[in-house]
């Protein structure tokens, strides 16, 4: 039987199927893309550093009226090929290493000194052109918690962001037949239909996830002798698990979510959504393959940026361009703090060590780094699995592959319309650990906030973590927020569990020996807070219940990691340190939207503290993680950011 060992390998198993269909690259109309740096104007109203998910969203909104001129400087290049556009399997872009950066973190002491790959999209469209196309929203409590850091009178809340979630996406419901046969829950009241960024459902579902959806030409290998909704329904066998009315409802539970794909089954991302199709706006220029080294200041007013062609390490090749109104950073959670620090905005000790003149001592820049860890629960194979087709048939079953290809070629329907998956569970901690959630939350809340942060953490950053700690302890006690996630891919290998609210905090700081050209020093500080270990042990116990105490037990679950014989806490923790990956490529927090006295970097208007004319609009502004993957929220924050920028223009 075909065996998948990790979540990453589980995604890669669809490689052959992904390459089976090659869509025709689309012609596009777009912003004026400049061929050379010497073609840029001397100044623009706005310079946006980063042409990714947030940068292109903001650029589109700022240029649509024609009132303002905008230059987007993007580290990556234009890409419109098969690797980007293919939806099938959800991860074809990962096979093209030119579409993302990848470099090692610092060694992780909590993970036996392993280094971890730091990965993000590098292309026009950013990570939205590389990611797994999962479109889900956090819970209401997540966004209300963000606002709570500023007190009661704030627009940063569930109610304040909901209009931007609606504006950001064009929602296409599943077909009536798919909805009825699989009891898919969705509610269009949580969605909009005007955006050029699309969220849609496949025309097919793997039978082990839910009820069988036969191909137009039946496959003789299809054996579907099971009760409907096997994986989806299994969660309902456990106490306290609920089914949310929509993935965008702000409620935890088992959910169905759409894929970021067009109804014609092409990846929908920031470049076609916010850059193609705007026609040639004379007020909108784009220059790709450029590395921004720093923001330029006159006094404490941001006046422009210094940049070089990608690949250059020679400052003599640098150019400058001026911004009349604002410099807008959208370089992402890893590179936005690097640019800020290299510009003289950041913790003074880091800047002085790098020889960077201090413009503003802003301790929070590069602190508060967070990501969603995975491989944090038991992994299983199912020894009695006989439910076909499943995703591995797209690699191993030539008859099925031929049928799937024929159906997709004829109608753009069938198994090749499926991305990673469209179903999974996002569950509250009281459901995961009903007997221990309160004691774990109490112990965590009682911690000294400085005890598990880096040595020498500035007082304001410690105060910010204390505020977060209070909110996260409340979250651990709540049935309205999720901490545990597992997705259902419809195959015999069970996916790794994702930890949605890790309590440890890391850092991203410039390399003091080469602040401009070297990659920053990224430290996840994984498992540095012992409360994470308390939570993750409970994840293991719950995941075992899911497979041994529900209808899934009929399929002969066999525990691969850590192994059924691993029961002692010390052995469980050893397995976590050996197997956990602290990143699902959802980094946030290094330019946090928090009050200045809580270690914040930007205020509620997303303006950087202590300077003028400089803002941040990407996911680095998230003060803490949401109980979902980050793509949808990044778009919503960017939509709100555009309105904030226009309001102060």
Binding residues for FAD: 53-54, 292
- Give the C-alpha separation, 10 to 491, whole Å: 10
Give the residue carrying structure tokens 């310079």: 47
DSSP readout, 398-437?
HHHHHHHHHHHHHHS-SGGG--S-SEEEEE-HHHH-TTTH
Cα–Cα distance measured from residue 501 to residue 496, given in angstroms and rounded to the nearest whole number: 16
Task: Enumerate the known binding-site residues.
Answer: 53-54, 292
Q: 107-110, long-range: CB within 8 Å, 24+ apart, which pairs?
A: 108/523, 108/524, 108/525, 108/526, 108/582, 109/528, 110/504, 110/525, 110/526, 110/527, 110/528, 110/577
Cα distances (Å, whole numbers) of residue 639 to 53, 64, 189, 456, 621 = 11, 13, 19, 36, 14
Tokens of 230: 């096997």
Q: Are strands 290-298 and 301-309 parallel, antiparallel or unpaired?
A: antiparallel
Where does residue 351 fall: left (phi above 0), alpha (psi -120 to 50 degrees), or beta otherwise?
alpha
Phi, then psi, of 199 in degrees rounded to 5 = -125, 120
SS3 sequence of 510-565: CCCCCCCCCCCEEECCCCCCHHHHHHHHHHHHHHHHHHHCCHHHHHCEEEEECCCC
Main-chain dihedrals φ then ψ at residue 312, nearest 5 degrees: -80, 140
Residue 313 has a CB neighbour count (10 Å cut-off) of 11
HSE (side-chain half, CA atoms, 13 Å) at 255: 27
Tell the residue number behind the tokens 């609009």, with chain if given: 617
Q: Can you tell me the distance from the alpha carbon of 483 to that of 472, in angstroms, rounded to the nearest whole number? A: 10
Q: Strands 170-171 and 198-199, how do they pair?
A: parallel
**Residue 294: cis peptide before it, omega within 30 degrees of 0:** no
Q: Give yes or no for a contact between 210 and 229, defined as CB atoms under 8 angstroms apart.
A: yes
- Count of residues in the chain: 649
**Cβ proximity of 408 and 266 under 8 Å:** no
Tell me, what DSSP letter sits at residue 215? -
Gap between the Cα atoms of 105 and 114, Å rounded: 9
**Pairing label, strands 345-346, 100-104:** unpaired
CB 128, CB 59: distance < 8 Å = no
């Amino acid at each position: 039987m075909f065996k998948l060992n990790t979540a990453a390998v589980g995604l890669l198993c669809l490689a052959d199927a992904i390459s089976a269909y090659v869509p025709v690259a689309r012609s596009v109309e777009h912003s004026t893309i400049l061929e050379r740096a010497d073609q840029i104007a001397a100044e623009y109203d706005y310079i946006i550093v980063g042409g990714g998910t947030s940068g292109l969203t903001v650029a589109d909104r700022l240029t649509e009226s024609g009132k303002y001129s905008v230059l987007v400087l993007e580290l990556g290049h234009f890409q419109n090929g098969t690797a980007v556009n293919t939806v099938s399997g959800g991860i074809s872009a990962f096979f093209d290493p030119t579409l993302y950066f990848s470099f090692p973190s610092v060694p992780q002491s909590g993970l036996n000194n392993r280094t971890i790959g730091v990965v993000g999209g590098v292309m026009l469209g950013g990570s939205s052109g590389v990611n797994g196309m999962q479109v889900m929203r956090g819970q209401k409590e997540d966004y209300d918690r963000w606002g709570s850091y500023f007190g009661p009178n704030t627009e940063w809340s569930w109610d304040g962001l909901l209009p931007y979630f609606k504006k950001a996406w064009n929602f296409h419901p599943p077909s009536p037949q798919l909805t009825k046969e699989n009891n898919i829950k969705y509610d269009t009241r949580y969605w909009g239909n005007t955006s050029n960024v699309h969220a849609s459902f496949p025309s097919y579902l793997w039978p082990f996830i839910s009820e069988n959806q036969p191909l137009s030409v039946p496959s003789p290998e299809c054996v579907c002798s099971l009760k409907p909704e096997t994986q989806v329904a299994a969660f309902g066998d456990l106490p306290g698990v609920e089914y949310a009315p929509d993935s965008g409802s702000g409620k935890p539970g088992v959910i169905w979510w759409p894929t970021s794909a067009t109804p014609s089954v092409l990846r929908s991302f920031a470049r076609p959504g916010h850059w193609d199709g705007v026609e040639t706006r004379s007020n909108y220029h784009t220059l790709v393959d450029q590395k921004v080294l720093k923001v330029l200041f006159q006094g404490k007013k941001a006046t422009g940026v210094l940049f070089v062609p990608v690949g250059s390490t020679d400052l003599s090749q640098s150019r400058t361009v001026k911004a009349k109104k604002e410099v807008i950073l959208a370089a992402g959670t890893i590179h936005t703090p690097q640019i800020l620090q290299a510009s003289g905005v950041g913790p003074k000790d880091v800047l002085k060590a790098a020889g960077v003149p201090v413009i503003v001592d802003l301790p929070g820049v590069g602190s508060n780094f967070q990501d969603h860890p995975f491989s944090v629960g038991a992994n299983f194979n199912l020894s009695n699995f006989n439910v076909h087709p499943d995703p591995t048939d797209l690699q191993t079953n030539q008859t099925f592959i031929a049928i799937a290809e024929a159906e997709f070629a004829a109608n753009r329907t069938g198994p090749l319309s499926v991305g990673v998956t469209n179903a999974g569970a996002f569950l509250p901690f009281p459901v995961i650990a009903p007997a221990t959630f309160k004691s774990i939350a109490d112990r965590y809340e009682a911690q000294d906030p400085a005890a598990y942060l880096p040595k020498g953490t500035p007082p304001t950053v410690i105060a910010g973590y204390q505020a977060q700690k209070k909110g996260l302890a409340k979250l651990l006690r709540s049935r309205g927020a999720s901490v545990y996630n597992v997705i259902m891919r419809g195959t015999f290998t069970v996916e790794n569990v994702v930890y949605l609210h890790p309590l440890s905090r890391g850092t991203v700081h410039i390399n003091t020996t080469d602040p401009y050209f070297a990659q920053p020093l990224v430290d996840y500080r994984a498992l540095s807070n012992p409360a994470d270990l308390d939570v993750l042990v409970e994840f293991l116990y719950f995941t075992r219940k899911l497979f041994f105490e529900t209808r899934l037990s009929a399929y002969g679950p066999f525990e691969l990691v850590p192994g059924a014989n691993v029961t002692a806490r010390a052995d469980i923790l050893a397995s976590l340190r050996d197997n956990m990956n602290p990143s699902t490529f959802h980094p946030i927090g290094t330019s946090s939207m928090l009050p200045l006295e809580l270690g914040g970097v930007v205020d509620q208007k997303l303006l950087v503290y202590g300077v003028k004319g400089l803002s941040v609009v990407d996911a680095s502004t998230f003060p803490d993680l949401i109980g979902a993957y980050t793509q949808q929220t990044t778009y919503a924050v960017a939509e709100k950011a555009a309105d904030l920028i226009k309001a102060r223009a």
